[in-house]
Structure 1
Amino acid sequence: MFKKIAIAVALVAASTSAFAQPFAQQQAPSFYAGIAGTSTEIDNLDRESGYGAFFGYKFNQSIAIEGGYYRVADTEYRVGAMRADVTVDQIDLSVIGTLPLSNGFDIYGRLGYARLEAEADIAGYTGKEHDSNALYGLGLGYTFSPVVHGRLEVQKPASDTTKIVAGVSYKF
């Protein structure tokens, strides 16, 4: 019985020291900011290119909180002689969970809140509409240097909207 307890204690001690090394290498908390290009498809409309910026705080290598602003669409629609200028903006706040892989790659998931706001100008008359939804996404990241990180992500800011985001961030 004593031998079994001694072996169990030895295994626990060995495993604790083995796990201590990866946790000691975890990144310190840090702020980051970035820019992104987007391609957004809204059901029954053409795919639109856009841009945006984001700012976040990384608590450790696995958890971050992030906010962003994106110009999802800025386009003109014509039906006969009628013309409409339409812009769609997105403001979001998310929690991001990251799983580091080898060679600088990581995969991440996003869960948060998105507010989409559309504005249309038709013959001098302006109308606005907004929609608030759950935001979720899945992405792949690559660390180019200790301070520069790239990402490619697919997001769903609304049930009828799919957004592809390619961005780069700078950690400070």
Structure 2
Amino acid sequence: MFKKIVAAAALTLVASSSFAAAPIAFYGGLDAGSTKIDDFGSSKGSFGGFVGYGFNQFFAVEAGYRHLGTYDFDVVANNRLYSGDVKAKQTHLSLIGSYPLNEALDVYGRLGYNKLRAKATVMGVSGGADDSTGLYGIGLNYTFAPNFSGRIEAQKPSSDSRNISASVVWQFR
């Protein structure tokens, strides 16, 4: 999967020179939202940050980190009930494809790779697990000023989780 993403990024870089495009820009942003992981049943607050590079008005590459939430759970062992929590985190690398609907509003899609990390703690004992999966999402980006915009995005970090977030984005031209 990762090789396909790298190949697609390379093709995007080569193809981007053929578009009549908006100025190329680095950008960064912060997001906050809500994540639901099916095994835990409830949604938790999420937050993160990201950086990216816009090749033109249609394509960008983006990397980010997001804390997906802390989930409480109970487990029974040896006829005793133990309580614990799981902290879920995400790092991701994505290709972003955008299409302008008007001068200020774009619709965009995301396709990428992400690494999910879960760390569980029960009675002071911790253990963790990693999972690498594909990532996809769709969103809207609204430009408030030439270097400042806001996003709303629905994202699927794994087969059993969903994230909805709002972001602020700053472009550095």
Normalised-by-shorter TM-score class: 0.7 to 0.9
2-structure distance, mates of 1:49, 1:78: 20
* Aligned residue number for residue 74 of structure 1: 70
2-structure distance, mates of 1:123, 1:137: 36
Q: Which of 18, 23, 27 pairs up with 1:28?
A: 23
Between the two proteins, what is the percent identity of the paired residues? 42
* Aligned residue number for residue 55 of structure 2: 59
Give unpaired runs (5+ residues) of structure 1.
1-21
Which amino acid is 2:67 matched to? R
* Aligned residue number for residue 153 of structure 1: 153
Paired residue total: 149
1-structure distance, mates of 2:66, 2:99: 25
Partner SS for 1:126: strand
* Aligned residue number for residue 85 of structure 1: 85
* Aligned residue number for residue 37 of structure 2: 42
Q: Which has the higher strand share?
A: 2
Which amino acid is 2:27 matched to? Y
1-structure distance, mates of 2:68, 2:33: 7
1-structure distance, mates of 2:73, 2:30: 27
Give unpaired runs (5+ residues) of structure 2.
1-18
Per-residue CA distance 1:69-111 (angstroms, 9 max, x = gap): 0000124334685221221000000000000111400000000
* Aligned residue number for residue 6 of structure 2: none
1:116-127 aligned at under 5 Å gives the runs: 116-127=116-127
1-structure distance, mates of 2:124, 2:161: 27
Per the normalisation by structure 1, the TM-score is 0.82
Q: Aligned Cα RMSD in Å?
A: 1.6
Per the normalisation by structure 2, the TM-score is 0.81
* Aligned residue number for residue 12 of structure 2: none
1-structure distance, mates of 2:114, 2:54: 20
2-structure distance, mates of 1:130, 1:38: 22
Partner SS for 1:144: strand
Per-residue CA distance 1:97-154 (angstroms, 9 max, x = gap): 0001114000000000011100011011111011110000111110000000110111
Which amino acid is 2:28 matched to? A
Bigger radius of gyration, 1 or 2? 1
Structure with more contact order per residue of length (Cα contacts < 8 Å, sep ≥ 6): 2
